[in-house]
Structure 1
């Protein structure tokens, strides 16, 4: 399988009053199309910073990143945004739904911004796939936390405009109780398998990490260990 995501020698530093602070130090990885990767580590380990760089939300101080075969570190913000609009979906801990839009309107927003005529029907289809066909016209405040995260998952998968897709999830069950968290986990991996998307997941939950094909552990901005969780010694094409 060809690489959907590749990073080489990433370093990321930010300026502080006490001098440069290193957030990431010399990170390299590769993930094949359709694979899943969990990134874990304590708070402050750099895992969310790494996720943001891999998704093209920011640029590293040093190093190169390729997403869907294109080098995003060579792009400006407008070019990176266009690439994200085509093939990237996001699921966050805090759902990130717009309170003034209904569930259907939240899900259809990425497609609508691309000018797709089928945005409404596509949104309805994905809401049905997450079991919320009866909640199309409800606003986020009228939905439970678990329902809001299911809307966010539907929006993430509906946002792919065709072809390759990669989903970045940052602590997707962090705001949910155990029961709703389990349902969201099952749904996330079910849709991911059906859509053959690539999944990069930041989490502190081992039970969630164990659902992924490979697992990177981080500490102090560095990868400290890489494991295959499917019995494959080559880490499902993930390397460090």
Structure 2
């Protein structure tokens, strides 16, 4: 296998994706070509229903695309089954969801420990404590998600996403459920951790301020890309 440090983070060629509905075939993404460099930050913007979140999920290997090629650090996602994509995600990918997706039965510390515990990393506790301190939640480690505000839950989700030091981080509307103050705090955390760890950052957002902080902005309109 090639050294991932010398490769592109993500290369997409002639990507099409469609789903079958009660009204027939629905084309969601059409002829997508995209190249993202290692360490780059890219914002994907566009109207609701334009295909942004679908594209993000396909790039992260959460779903299988219909046609074309997606290469994540040199690995062709279309050549992998669901288990193979899961292994690849574990190796390279972090993901932040708009709705946080924290496990309610685990404390903040346990949620952040989970990715490394699943890998058998004996230093999962130390890494989780370090990240929760970085996101300003060292005093909330033993609290459960229901005891945390929305902004605090999203900070826990960010810490969890960075816990396994992913090479690429996908974030789907990471500030969408937050007020202005917490939204700015989360933005700052994303870019600070991105710079500290050299992580490639791909963000779907309606937030023009967040998009403007990225190296590039890519717009989706009716399933087609337009770089701005």
Q: What TM-score comes out, normalization by structure 1 length?
A: 0.91
- Secondary structure of the equivalent of 2:57? helix
The partner residue of 2:177 within 154, 175, 178 is: 175
Instruction: State the shift of 1:193 in Å.
Output: 0.7
| Higher mean C-alpha displacement, 86-95 vs 166-175 | 86-95
Q: Does 1:131 align with 2:136?
A: yes
Instruction: State the shift of 1:135 in Å.
Output: 1.2
Q: What residue in structure 1 maps to residue 3 of structure 2? A: none
Distance in structure 2 (CA, Å) of the matches to 1:2 and 1:118: 29
Distance in structure 2 (CA, Å) of the matches to 1:159 and 1:48: 23
Q: What residue in structure 1 maps to residue 101 of structure 2? A: 96
Distance in structure 2 (CA, Å) of the matches to 1:65 and 1:217: 18
The partner residue of 2:43 within 38, 51, 56 is: 38
The question of whether the paired residues in 1 share the 8 Å contact of 2:7 and 2:73 is answered with: no
- Secondary structure of the equivalent of 1:3? coil
- Secondary structure of the equivalent of 1:82? helix
Instruction: State the shift of 1:173 in Å.
Output: 0.4
The partner residue of 1:204 within 203, 206, 209 is: 206
Q: Does 1:19 align with 2:19?
A: no
Q: What residue in structure 1 maps to residue 190 of structure 2? A: 188
Q: What residue in structure 2 maps to residue 234 of structure 1? A: none
1:21-170 alignment, distance < 5 Å: 21-160=26-165, 165-170=167-172
| CA distances 1:141-163 after superposition (whole Å, capped 9, x unpaired) | 11111111100000000023xxx
Instruction: State the shift of 1:87 in Å.
Output: 1.3
| CA distances 1:52-73 after superposition (whole Å, capped 9, x unpaired) | 0000011111011111221111
Q: Which runs of 4+ in 1 moved over 2 A?
A: none
Distance in structure 2 (CA, Å) of the matches to 1:171 and 1:18: 29
Consecutive unaligned residues in structure 1, runs of 5 or more: 228-240
Distance in structure 1 (CA, Å) of the matches to 2:112 and 2:164: 8
Q: What residue in structure 2 maps to residue 226 of structure 1? A: 227
Distance in structure 1 (CA, Å) of the matches to 2:74 and 2:201: 16
Q: What TM-score comes out, normalization by structure 2 length?
A: 0.95
User: Root-mean-square deviation (CA), in Å?
Assistant: 1.0
- Secondary structure of the equivalent of 1:52? helix
Distance in structure 1 (CA, Å) of the matches to 2:83 and 2:186: 32
